[in-house]
Amino acid sequence: MSLLKDFTRQNSLTVLFLTRHLSSATTTNTSKLHDRYTFEPPSSLSPSPENPNESPTKPHRKQPKPKYKPPSSLDRTGKKPVRSSLPFDFRFSYTESSQTVRPIGLREPKYSPFGPDRIDREWTGVCAPAVDPKVKALDGEEDPKLEEERKKKREYVQGTPLTNAERKALVLQCERGKTKRQVNMGRDGLTHNMLTEIHNHWKYTEAVRIKCMGVPTVDMKNICTQLEDKTFGKVIFRHGGTLVLYRGRNYNPRKRPVIPIMLWKPHEPVYPRLIKTTIEGLSIEETKEMRKRGLAVPALTKLTKNGYYAYLVSMVRDAFLSSELVRIDCQGLERSDYKKIGCKLRDLVPCILVTFDKEQIVVWRGKDYKHLKGGYFLKDRESFDDDDDGGDLLMDEEEELNNTGL
């Protein structure tokens, strides 16, 4: 019995000795466990370090994560510049910029608003010309070959003209109650990125509604001309500042033109002053007296912000029949807006700008004024009917305009 107890006690001591030495044993072959009992501990109990110079008790360090780099549209590594075959110069605004007026300077370096190395055209500070990408001039006359190319391309896209029934069906589809597809045109007029928006709408529908407001509505004919010239579409209906632009019979959304996106609005160049110190043909004293009288003249009309101003030119022309000075109240408008309106009145009426003081536009008809009749401007409503094509099957024009909810 005593022998059994001694044997049990010896076994317990042996187990205790093994557990203590296993917890503190190293993986060397010269350990006591290996010498006495020829025992090798498993690798899980004592992992060998990857670096022999590093101590086994040192914790494993995680490699630091790479810093987050947000995606950038300016990163063009491995990408070629976008090539566009559109036969016209790229500008920020096509309705509010004139090719005949040459700027006298730039407000910033010639940074391309399309981003560095994104298109194969050089930015001149005013436009990205389509003819010669190495052109150094700021502005100039357009190449007549581009106009011919645009005309041929537009004739191909339009194909056979629409009949009255087809046109009126498209106009009814663009009513406010039937579709929410609309492109809004504000003080900047027809901008470059608006071309992409119009083509995006044409991908799903044949015609799109365009709402024009603010400064560009002074010359609605220019808006319609530039829309048809730059998009190769056709204006099939107009009611006030609302247009319906048709894409054409041969338009293929899969073969739409490549239009690079303009990433930011470039600064406008420096143009000659609109208001000079003295009016041409008058002395300094006569100019000061005319400005005082112009501010005292009763206002012809008061312009509202983001309004419809297509009636303004005809009103100024009629007012010049009875008065040599006309004042237009522009309180509440941005200074840049009523300066643009005055510039358009100077070219369209025509007239001489007197002052922009106190948020007023004062114009003078000049010494040798000849009244021009309004044959140049569009009517307030136009339906673009073709009288030779099935007019008896359609409603009258007046009835259609009253029923159209544009």
pLDDT in tens, 251-291: 999 999 999 999 999 999 999 998 988 888 889 999 999 99
* pLDDT surpassing 90 at residue 17: no
* pLDDT surpassing 50 at residue 395: no
Cα separation of 281 and 366, whole Å?
A: 9
Q: Using alpha carbons, select from 108, 144, 143, 153 the residue that is nearest to residue 126.
A: 108
CATH assignment, 273-379: 3.30.110.60
* pLDDT surpassing 70 at residue 197: yes
Cα separation of 33 and 24, whole Å?
A: 11
> 192-202 and 220-231 helices cross at what angle (nearest 10)?
70
* pLDDT surpassing 60 at residue 25: no
| Tens digit of each residue's pLDDT (9 = 90 or more) over 72-91 | 656 666 678 888 889 999 99
Exposure of 318 in the CB half-sphere (CA atoms within 13 A): 8
What is the pLDDT of the chain when averaged over all its residues? 81
* pLDDT surpassing 70 at residue 297: yes
Two structure tokens written together for 208: 């799109």
Report helix, strand or coil for 171.
helix
Q: What is the pLDDT of residue 132?
A: 66
- The arithmetic mean of pLDDT across residues 130-141, rounded, is 56
| Tens digit of each residue's pLDDT (9 = 90 or more) over 143-176 | 778 888 888 999 999 999 999 999 999 999 999 8
Cα separation of 300 and 302, whole Å?
A: 7
Cβ 234 vs Cβ 248: under 8 Å: yes
* pLDDT surpassing 90 at residue 296: yes
DSSP letter for 357, please: G
* pLDDT surpassing 60 at residue 225: yes
Cis before 269? omega within 30: no
Lowest average pLDDT, out of 32-36, 46-50, 250-254, 364-368, goes to 46-50
Q: What CATH class is the domain 90-269?
A: alpha beta
Exposure of 365 in the CB half-sphere (CA atoms within 13 A): 19
Cβ 147 vs Cβ 236: under 8 Å: no
Q: Whose structure tokens read 């298109």?
A: 119
Domain boundaries, given as residue ranges, for the chain: 90-269, 273-379
Beta bridge partners of 329: 302, 360
State the DSSP string of 88-148: S-B-SBSSS--SSSPPSB-SS----TT-TTSBSS---SS-B-SS-TT---S--PPPHHHHH
Question: Fold match between 90-269 and 273-379?
Answer: yes
Q: What is the pLDDT of residue 39?
A: 64
* pLDDT surpassing 80 at residue 133: no
Q: What is the pLDDT of residue 280?
A: 85
Q: What is the pLDDT of residue 400?
A: 43
* pLDDT surpassing 90 at residue 98: no
Q: What is the pLDDT of residue 43?
A: 66
